[in-house]
């Protein structure tokens, strides 16, 4: 708050460059974490919140007829044009924003003051929700070829690696340490991803300090051990993501790339992805095109082309596709590096992992991938995102490009990802907002030194709580899509308007397919809830008649013993033997046994009541009237193939107060016929007979002609 000299400014205009009408006045508030603009007029009094750490640049322009302009360009690509009345006040706000947006000390970042009012236990469990090392367990590691070692627990091997790394089981600690001394920033080759189907591995590291002639036996042994973890392949790819010219220039500085003469069975490939400085300049040119107020088609397309942004996205995707095919098709392991192994290497390994493994296309999978390949492996978030006041030449949109690559894949495979575009945008926002501790510092060691796990909160629980907002309604499930094979021909690489013109509402489509689908799913869920509540009220208000349950139980019992057409007419055809045979086998009993079985049915009605409530509700819903008998003159007679006359209900222990009328005598236990109906006294009009006039004859023939009509 020391930097805020003017916390509130009135009569401030927020200018929309796509709206020609005169901007309304509002009030500008400046807090320790946000700049807030509130419209002075209008019933809704619309608010615009801008996180201070989102602000990339603040520009104070010359005074105009409207007043003193102040332009904010944000890291999430929002551009806000304010006009203040007073030049002095405008200057005070300008100075405050410069200091607040890029503090000098990490402790001044938003994450250290953010307090969501959660307990210490909740904060600690939040940090444990997503753990990078758990992903290796999913891959089946440790196993006979790979092991997890905590040799870097004190960051003695590599200060920018996590405490636990995965290396070949056959190598010694001395070999790992020796190799690290031969790699830039001591970033020794370690496992990134294991494709379990064929044991092909993706490993990552930094460039070797080889120069033109230097070699390292430990490094050569480590690469040989990595190759031997995949017995199905006779070689291993070494992928240098840089342009070859850049790698050769590094050789002159004592670095460079592996000499194929010194490493057994490796095949070398350059990918041609440019460095951080080229990417930063490319994004700047892209944003200049995006800020054109009324660009012509020619201006936009030529500007997009000259920025080179889509070419860079294509290069990253091509590298990921190459690694994917090497692992899946050629069954070869791949070692990936760039210069220091924390920018282009992270991009390419992550894209390849998403192409190979559908797990990384889920909510949890993407969070683990970011934690594993970016956060724990030392992507320099603090410098690349410009969290603190420092060298602007270290800022570069490396992580933004990675999210852009995911979006390109989502455009080609819209049903393969559990999350939608908004999930990517939300992650992008919080990488720059500094609201959570995950993306602070440049490596794991930095975050431990800052004690972010004790003083800040993790972003992942926050995102998990909002999963309904980020769910892809077109997602087909985890197993529907295996390895993805995207196309990178020019017309398949698109400009992501939702990212780079996200806040320019005048450029957005009037209707969004995603938003419409999400709204439909939301309404459907509400309707399902209403239906459930109505069903509960119906059950509580209107219990089903006893005769319905009793008849249903009778039908179930007869079906159990005879395969009766009461519930499954066609099932009766599978009964072997005549009625006497069934009785001899104990399947049916004579009068006494049948009475006992009927008594048992009556006692079970209460227990089985809920199983038939749906039937009762359905009958009531359609307001049964008339003749809806299942076999009231329906031709089931003679279908059951049992002859005789059996017409007594008294014998079975039922009386007419149960609503079953007619006669059903058991005569000699061989002949069954009768008239079973639900009496009209139970509130049903017409004839709703169950086996009404359903003479049963010809038991031995097992021929049937079933029909059902009203």
pLDDT of residue 23: 81
Whether 517 is in a domain gets the answer: no
Q: What is the per-residue pLDDT across 379-413, written as a single tens digit (0 to 9) for each?
A: 999 999 999 998 999 999 999 999 999 999 999 99
341 carries a ligand binding annotation: yes
Please state, in angstroms and rounded to a whole number, the distance separating the CA atoms of residues 381 and 484.
Answer: 29
Give the total number of structural domains in the chain.
3
Residue 217 has what pLDDT?
A: 96
391 by Cβ neighbours in 10 Å (0-12 / 13-18 / 19+) ranks as exposed
Domain boundaries, position 311: 124-508
DSSP designation for 425: H
Say if residue 549 carries a ligand binding annotation.
no
pLDDT digits (tens, 9 = 90+) for 262-282: 998 999 999 999 999 999 999
Confirm or deny that 16 is annotated as ligand binding. no
Query: What local confidence, expressed as pLDDT, does residue 491 receive?
Result: 93
Q: Residue 658 in contact with residue 547, Cβ under 8 Å?
A: yes
Is 541 contained in some domain? no
Q: Find out whether 342 is annotated in a ligand binding site.
A: yes
Question: Is 338 labeled as catalytic in the residue annotation?
Answer: yes
Q: Does residue 335 belong to any structural domain of this protein?
A: yes
Q: What is the pLDDT of residue 687?
A: 41
Catalytic choice (205, 338, 349, 549): 338
Per-residue pLDDT tens digits for 335-345:
999 999 999 99
What are the two backbone dihedrals, phi and then psi, of residue 359, each rounded to the nearest 5 degrees?
-60, -40
What pLDDT is stored for residue 118 in this prediction? Answer: 84
Tell me: do 498 and 563 sit in the same domain: no
Considering the domain boundaries, does residue 530 fall inside one?
no
Q: Are residues 94 and 128 in the same domain?
A: no
Q: Are residues 213 and 271 in the same domain?
A: yes
If asked whether residues 334 and 394 sit together in one domain, one would say: yes
Same domain assignment for residues 333 and 469: yes
Does 349 show up as a binding residue in the annotation? no
For position 660, what pLDDT does the model report? 36
In a domain, 405, yes or no: yes
591 shares a domain with 657:
yes
Shared domain for 209 and 81, answered yes or no, is: no
Q: Do 48 and 134 fall into the same domain?
A: no
What single DSSP character describes residue 267? Answer: E
Residues 309 and 247 in one domain: yes
The answer on 86 and 158 residing in a single domain is no
Does 275 carry a binding-site annotation?
yes
What is the widest separation between alpha-carbon atoms in the chain?
A: 112
CATH number, residue 71:
2.30.29.30
367 in Cβ contact with 463 (< 8 Å): yes
Alpha-carbon distance of 63 to 503, in angstroms, equals: 25
| Same domain membership, residue 416 and residue 341 | yes
Per-10-residue mean pLDDT, the chain, length 710: 85 82 87 94 83 96 91 96 94 95 94 90 93 95 96 96 97 97 97 97 96 92 97 96 94 90 93 98 96 90 97 98 98 97 98 98 98 98 96 96 98 96 98 97 97 96 95 90 95 95 73 76 86 85 57 53 44 43 44 49 51 51 40 37 38 38 38 38 38 38 39
pLDDT at 553: 55
Task: For residues 200 and 231, give the distance between their C-alpha atoms in angstroms, rounded to a whole number.
Answer: 9
* Position 515 in a domain: no
pLDDT at position 413 is 96
| Residue 395 shares a structural domain with residue 466 | yes
């Amino acid at each position: 708050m020391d930097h805020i000299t003017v916390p509130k400014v009135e009569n401030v205009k927020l200018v929309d460059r796509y709206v020609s009408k005169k901007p309304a006045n509002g009030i500008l508030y400046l807090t320790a974490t946000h700049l807030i603009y509130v419209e002075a007029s209008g019933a809704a009094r619309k608010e615009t919140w801008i996180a201070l750490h989102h602000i990339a640049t603040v520009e104070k322009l010359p005074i105009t007829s409207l007043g003193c302009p102040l332009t904010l360009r944000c890291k999430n690509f929002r551009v806000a044009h304010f006009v203040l009345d007073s030049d002095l006040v405008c200057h005070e706000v300008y100075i405050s924003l410069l200091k607040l947006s890029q503090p000098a000390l990490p402790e001044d970042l938003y994450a250290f003051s953010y307090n969501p009012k959660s307990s210490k236990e909740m904060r600690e469990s939040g940090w444990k929700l997503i753990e990078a090392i758990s992903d290796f367990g999913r891959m089946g590691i440790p196993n006979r070829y790979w092991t997890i070692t905590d040799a870097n627990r004190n960051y003695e091997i590599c200060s920018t690696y996590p405490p636990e790394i995965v290396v070949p089981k056959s190598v010694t600690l001395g070999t790992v340490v020796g190799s690290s001394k031969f790699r830039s920033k001591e970033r020794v080759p370690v496992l990134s991803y294991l494709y379990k189907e064929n044991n092909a591995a993706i490993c990552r590291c930094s460039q070797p300090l080889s120069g033109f002639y230097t070699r390292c036996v430990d490094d050569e042994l480590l690469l040989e051990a990595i190759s031997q973890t995949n017995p199905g392949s006779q070689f291993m790819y070494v992928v240098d993501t840089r342009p070859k010219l850049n790698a050769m220039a590094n050789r002159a500085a004592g670095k460079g790339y592996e000499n194929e003469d010194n490493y057994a069975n490796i095949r070398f490939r350059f990918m041609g992805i440019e460095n951080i400085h080229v990417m930063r300049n490319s994004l700047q040119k892209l944003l200049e095109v995006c800020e054109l107020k009324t660009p012509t088609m020619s201006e936009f397309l030529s500007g997009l082309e000259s920025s080179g942004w889509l070419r860079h996205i294509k290069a990253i995707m091509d590298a990921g596709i190459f690694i994917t095919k090497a692992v899946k098709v050629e069954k070869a392991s791949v070692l990936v590096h760039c210069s220091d192994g924390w920018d282009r290497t992270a991009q390419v390994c992550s894209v390849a992992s998403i192409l190979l493994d559908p797990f990384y296309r889920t909510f949890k999978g993407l969070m683990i991938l970011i934690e594993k390949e970016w956060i724990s492996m030392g992507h320099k978030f603090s410098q690349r995102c410009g969290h603190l006041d420092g060298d602007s030449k270290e800022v570069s949109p490396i992580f933004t490009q990675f999210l852009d690559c995911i979006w390109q894949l989502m455009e080609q495979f819209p049903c393969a990802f559990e999350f939608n575009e908004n999930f990517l945008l939300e992650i992008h926002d919080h990488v720059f907002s500094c609201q959570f501790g995950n993306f602070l510092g440049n490596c794991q060691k930095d975050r431990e030194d800052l004690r972010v796990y004790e003083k800040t909160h993790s972003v992942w629980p926050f995102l998990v709580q909002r999963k309904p907002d980020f769910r892809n309604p077109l997602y087909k499930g985890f197993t529907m899509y295996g390895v993805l094979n995207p196309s990178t021909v020019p017309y398949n690489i698109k400009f992501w308007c939702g990212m780079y013109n996200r806040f320019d509402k005048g450029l957005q489509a009037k209707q969004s397919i995603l938003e419409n689908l999400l709204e439909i799913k939301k309404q459907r869920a509400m309707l399902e809830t209403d239906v459930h509540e109505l069903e509960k009220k119906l059950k509580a208000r209107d219990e089903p008649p006893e005769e319905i349950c009793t008849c249903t139980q009778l039908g179930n019992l007869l079906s159990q013993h005879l395969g009766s057409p009461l519930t499954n007419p066609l099932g009766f055809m599978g009964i072997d033997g005549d009625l006497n045979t069934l009785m001899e086998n104990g399947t049916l009993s004579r009068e006494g046994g049948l009475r006992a079985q009927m008594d048992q049915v009556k006692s079970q009605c209460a227990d089985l009541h809920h199983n038939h409530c749906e039937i009762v509700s359905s009958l009531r819903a359609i307001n049964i009237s008339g003749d809806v008998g299942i076999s009231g003159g329906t031709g089931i007679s003679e279908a059951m193939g049992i002859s005789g006359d059996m017409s007594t209900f008294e014998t079975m222990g039922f009386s007419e107060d149960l609503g079953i009328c007619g006669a059903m005598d058991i005569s000699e236990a061989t002949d069954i016929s009768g008239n079973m109906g639900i009496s009209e006294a139970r509130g049903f009009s017409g004839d709703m007979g169950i086996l009404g006039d359903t003479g049963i004859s010809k038991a031995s023939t097992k021929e049937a002609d079933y029909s059902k009509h009203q």
